[in-house]
Chain A
Amino acid sequence: MSGHSNYPEWIYVAVVIALMAWVGAEAWEAERLVEHIPEGAEVIKVTAQQWFWTFEHEDGTKEIGELHVEVGKAYKFEIRSKDVIHSFNIHDYVVLMDAVPGRVNTVWFAPDAVGIHDIQCREYCGLIHYNMRGTLYVEDPSS
């Protein structure tokens, strides 16, 4: 049509592009902060299998179904699976990472308060998935 102005449409396109760029940048920055592991983080090997969790500390100490960590310290989880796909979740600390056979996935966290928290499998992994739980004990270094 003659005399039709599409100026507002260009403004609309620009606003959408700007918003998408901003949303992307925000998400990217959050991902960068969350994924970068602090120096000196202790590595804990997490092994998932039907239907329990095994944890191995750097000093070789192993724990089954429960994990003891120190408050204020950073921990890097190296998550493996021995059978099917599981998902390692500490709900209270927003830690969530799949355990995939043949892969080592990593996620880190630094508990900031003494307490007891649930660990659970978040990927349906068979009959007793619902009870594939563990307990996280965040303790004072002196105790």
Chain B
Amino acid sequence: MKGIVGLLLILAVLVMIPALDLAFAAGQEPGEYVDRRVIIWNLFFRMMTVAFTVGAVVAGTMIWLVWRFRESHPKAKPTAYEGTDW
């Protein structure tokens, strides 16, 4: 387990580094001529893509959980605390 936690920690740090890099690179240097509309709407569309993808995965997982672990599933096994007389 320690190995997994370590690995995940390293992965998290690797993801964080570019984010922090971008943030701290933003000093007082003059900005570029950018189109606010493009940047803001692009961000919105990307965030919506993430939101819908995550939503679909979470909803799908919950549907699968309910379907797979229902009592009437052919492969259902009673847990220890439910007893075995069924």
Residues in A lying within 8 Å of B, measured CB to CB: 1, 7, 10, 13-14, 17-19, 21-30, 32-39, 74, 93-95, 108-110, 112
Contacts and interface: CB of A to CB of B under 8 A. Distances in A.
Contact of B19 (A28, A34, A95): A28
A27 to B, nearest CB: 6
A19 B8 contact: no
B39 A34 contact: yes
Nearest to B40: A94
> Interface of chain A, helix or strand or loop or mixed?
helix
B26 interface: yes
Contacts of B42: 30
A4 to B, nearest CB: 11
Nearest to B35: A112
Interface in B29-49: 29-37, 39-43, 46-47
10 contacts: A10-B5, A14-B11, A18-B11, A19-B50, A27-B47, A28-B19, A34-B36, A35-B31, A36-B31, A93-B36
A72 to B, nearest CB: 8
B47 A23 contact: yes
Contacts of A22: 15, 19, 50
Interface of B: 4-5, 8, 11-12, 15-16, 18-19, 22-23, 26, 29-37, 39-43, 46-47, 50, 54, 80
Contacts of B12: 14, 17-18, 21
A117 B23 CA distance: 33
B15 A17 contact: yes
A14 B18 CA distance: 17
A77 to B, nearest CB: 12
Nearest to B4: A10
A14 B40 contact: no
A114 to B, nearest CB: 16
A25 B22 contact: yes
Contact of A23 (B8, B30, B50): B50
B47 A26 contact: yes
